[in-house]
Homo-oligomer: A and B are copies of this chain.
Amino acid sequence: MSVTAAKGFTAAGIAAGIKDSGGADLALVVNNGPRHAAAGVFTSNRVKAAPVLWSEQVLKGGQVSAVVLNSGGANACTGAPGFQDTHATAEKVAEALGHSAGEVAVASTGLIGTRLPMDKLLPGVDKAVAALSAHGGEKAAIAIKTTDTVHKTAVAEGAGWTVGGMAKGAGMLAPGLATMLVVLTTDAELDQPELDRALRAATRTTFDRIDSDGCMSTNDTVLLLSSGASGVTPGYDEFAEAVRTVCDDLGQQLIRDAEGASKDIRVEVVGAASEEDAVEAGRSIARNNLLKCALHGEDPNWGRVLSAIGTTSAAFEPDKLNVAINGVWVCKDGSVGEDRELVDMRFREVRITADLAAGSESAVIWTNDLTADYVHENSAYSS
């Protein structure tokens, strides 16, 4: 289903020869209208890849008629020649489709610091255009995989309208692990400001709160394209909830496919004085390497949770903190609570609840454990 679940979209995924493996590496998503309103959010890393710089400009116009995505190279830290490569890619897509290059978004993922093989990529665009299909969403999702073990798609249905999407990566927007690329499509009729508002609201509590390894990519891109082909204009709240549902679904798929991970860890901070405090404390817990190792070893080491909270500026008193791991309150009032032997750690999902006892706000951050496989995969990646 993927990006072609909504009416008005065609897509393709083909092998252009960018990847040495010969696998699929070029995806194209085309919005056939009648409308072309679009919204996008991008990495907050100040070192941005050429396609991010390009697509940010495209999205300022509020109209996107096609998105071209490649795996096999991030086109980041490639200077002015790299930006020219992105520009040439957009021009090539525009020419092949009879659109304007100013409405063609570009996204790339792969190694930083190497130029894309344009002699393969540009002919690949022709091949992708020839393969465009109203059933091409699945192939497009496959073509953007890098270290992903599975391709990721999701769909939410409204009354006569649909939101669909695809994602690659095992990361997030800000921060971001491996690059996350996401394209969402809808046939609902909405104005650009509503699309933008719905997308930002959805990413703020989904992709922005998955923090697999605390590293932020140069290439993260999430786009939402509307064709209006259903002729239906849903209420904003209903539409926003559908977008959030698809983002949440894709985000969970990213966490479950994180490089080398053996645990999916849900960190919920409750009792916070503000949502910002809850997010800050949750992120600090989610990024603590010592805790991530302990959870890998199925050790409910709550001391490392307190130690992580202690590095934040969130409102709390150390002797009021409570921590539950998989439902057992192993830390009460900043000290030893229920017997840690009661914590069952056998399953892939681990639930940590940290109660700051300072208010009524909360937030959920998802992360993964730190494993020898993560080290192996990321030490061998570019060699």
Q: Does any Cβ of B come within 8 Å of A60's Cβ?
A: no
Q: Enumerate 10 A-B pairs (CB-CB under 8 Å) in ascending A order.
A: A44-B311, A79-B333, A79-B336, A82-B335, A112-B301, A113-B335, A216-B310, A297-B381, A299-B380, A372-B376
Chain B residues whose C-beta falls within 8 Å of the C-beta of A346 in the assembled complex? none
In the complex, per-residue mask of A289-323: 1 if CB is within 8 Å of any chain B CB, else 0: 11001101101011110111111100010110100
Chain B residues whose C-beta falls within 8 Å of the C-beta of A214 in the assembled complex? 287, 289
Give the Cβ gap from A355 to chain B, nearest Cβ, in Å. Answer: 14
Within 8 A of B (CB), among A58-108: 74, 76-79, 82
Chain B residues whose C-beta falls within 8 Å of the C-beta of A379 in the assembled complex? 293-294, 296-297, 299
Chain B residue nearest to A212 (CB atoms) is B289
A216 to B285, CA, bound (A): 12
Selected contact of A383 from candidates B290, B297, B309, CB within 8 Å: B297
| Known A-B contacts A113-B336, A289-B289, A374-B293; A217 and B77 likewise in contact (beta carbons under 8 Å) | no
A374 to B372, CA, bound (A): 9
Q: Does any Cβ of B come within 8 Å of A57's Cβ?
A: no
Q: Which residues of A contact B (CB under 8 A)?
A: 44-48, 74, 76-79, 82, 111-115, 175, 177, 213-218, 287-290, 293-294, 296-297, 299, 301-304, 306-312, 316, 318-319, 321, 331, 333-336, 370-372, 374-383
Contact B335 A303 (CB under 8 A): no
Contact A296 B375 (CB under 8 A): yes
A118 to B294, CA, bound (A): 27
Give the Cβ gap from A28 to chain B, nearest Cβ, in Å. Answer: 26
Chain B residues whose C-beta falls within 8 Å of the C-beta of A374 in the assembled complex? 289, 293, 375
Chain B residues whose C-beta falls within 8 Å of the C-beta of A112 in the assembled complex? 301, 303-304, 306-307
Selected contact of A303 from candidates B76, B294, B316, B318, CB within 8 Å: B76
